């Protein structure tokens, strides 16, 4: 049995992870960490350090907050606990620094999105990018999201920027924004405009819009339920024990 600690176990994603791990027959939740104590069949702690002092843990799953996750990883990785991280908002440099602090043989696995559909959306965007001079990302999330743009949108923009030809865009940039409407052209991530919508009614959706002469190509993915992330999270938990170092993206574990 893989012994799993869930940081943020009382949150939207954390509680779905607890249900999914509990339903799997090759892993078990051995403890939870969250300031919101809920009644649970496993012990709960206020901090990760307390949890790891008291519990034997193979894998930490972290779905907390952008301002919390780095602290958790800086506790777990030097102790040799493999980490499966869904919390967004960490820069690539921070992830690399944290991975460098790990005990040799320990894996830091970060996926900005654990759905197969979003991974494929990014792969399709990578394939399309060389053929379209224009590319913009629009992401749509629920109102409680604490970071903008989303981790998925940042990763998508990075992938497009790397895959596309030297820029021949004709689309205007920030210089066309009228006074008082700064931001209308979106945030530039590696030169790709990213627009963040926050509204009731959404879980997580994203469109990648490519344009060239007389045509557009739109790639869209929607998560309507948090169960969509769970097969990917379980795959991560099952995979990290055999890997080490920093791994970014669920595609690394998908056949
Ligand atoms: N990679 C992916 O596929 C996905 C990633 N995410 C990301 O996961 C993260 C969590 O999202 P979501 O579940 O919606 O957020 P929630 O706010 O619902 O859950 C986060 C939980 O973590 C708790 N928390 C706060 N501080 C700590 C701490 N120090 N230690 C442990 N727990 C703590 C929060 O408590 P409190 O409310 O008091 O702050 C809350 O209960 C976000 O960064 C989001 O972007 C979300 C979906 C999919
Ligand atoms: O906060 C969320 O809900 C989500 N966060 C991740 C992100 O920032 O990309 C993944 C998914 O979009 C849901």
Q: Residues enclosing ligand 1, CB less than 6 A?
A: 7-8, 10-14, 33-36, 63-66, 68, 86-89, 111-114, 147, 229
Question: What number is the ipTM of this complex?
Answer: 0.99
For residue 185, the model assigns a pLDDT of 98
Distance CA 237, CA 100 (A): 20
**Each residue of 32-42: pLDDT tens digit?**
999 988 889 99
For residue range 146-187, what is the model confidence (pLDDT) as tens digits? 999 999 999 999 999 999 988 678 999 999 999 999 999 999
Q: What percent of the chain has pLDDT over 90?
A: 95
Question: What is the value of pTM for the model shown?
Answer: 0.96
Q: How many CA atoms lie within 13 A of 140 on its CB side?
A: 14
Closest CA to 4 of 27, 23, 34: 27
Residue with token string 């497009």: 160
- The correct CATH number of 116-224 out of 3.30.70.270, 3.30.930.10, 3.20.20.140, 3.30.360.10 is 3.30.360.10
CB atoms near residue 57 (< 10 Å): 20
Nearest residue to 113 (alpha-carbon basis) of 94, 139, 133, 80: 139
Catalytic residue among 36, 145, 146, 162: 145
Over the stretch 119-140, which tens digit does the pLDDT of each residue have? 999 999 999 999 999 999 999 9
- The structural domains of the chain, with segments of one domain joined by +, span 2-110+227-253, 116-224
Q: Pairing relation of β-strands 82-85 and 107-110? A: parallel
Phi/psi of residue 94, nearest 5 degrees: -65, -45
Superfamily of structural domain 2-110+227-253: NAD(P)-binding Rossmann-like Domain (3.40.50.720)
Tell which one of 5, 7, 8, 196 to mutate to probe ligand 1, the residue whose CB is within 8 A of the most ligand atoms: 8
Q: Per the annotation, does 8 bind a ligand?
A: yes
DSSP string, 46-81: SSHHHHHHHS--SEEEE-S-TTTHHHHHHHHGGGT-
Nearest CA to ligand 2 atom 5: 150
């Amino acid at each position: 049995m893989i012994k799993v600690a869930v940081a943020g176990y009382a949150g939207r994603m954390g509680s779905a992870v607890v249900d999914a791990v509990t339903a799997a027959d090759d892993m078990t939740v051995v403890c939870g960490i969250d300031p919101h104590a809920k009644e649970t069949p496993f012990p709960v702690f206020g901090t990760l350090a307390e949890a790891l002092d008291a519990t034997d843990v193979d894998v930490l799953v972290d779905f907390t907050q952008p301002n919390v996750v780095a602290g958790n990883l800086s506790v777990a990785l030097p102790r040799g606990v493999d980490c499966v991280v869904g919390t967004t908002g960490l820069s690539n440099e921070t992830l690399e620094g944290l991975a460098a602090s790990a005990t040799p043989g320990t894996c830091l696995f970060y996926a900005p999105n654990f759905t197969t559909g979003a991974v494929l959306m990014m792969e399709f965007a990578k394939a399309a990018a060389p053929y379209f001079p224009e590319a913009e990302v629009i992401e749509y999330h629920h109102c409680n999201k604490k970071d903008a743009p989303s981790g998925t949108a940042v990763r998508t923009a990075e992938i497009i920027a790397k895959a596309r030809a030297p820029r021949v865009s004709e689309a205007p940039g920030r210089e066309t924004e009228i006074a008082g409407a700064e931001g209308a052209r979106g945030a530039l991530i590696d030169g790709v405009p990213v627009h963040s919508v926050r509204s009731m009614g959404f879980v997580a959706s994203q469109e990648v819009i490519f344009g060239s002469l007389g045509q557009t190509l739109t790639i869209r993915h929607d998560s309507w339920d948090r169960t969509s992330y769970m097969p990917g999270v379980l795959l991560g938990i099952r995979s990290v024990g055999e890997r080490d170092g920093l791994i970014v993206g669920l595609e690394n574990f998908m056949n």
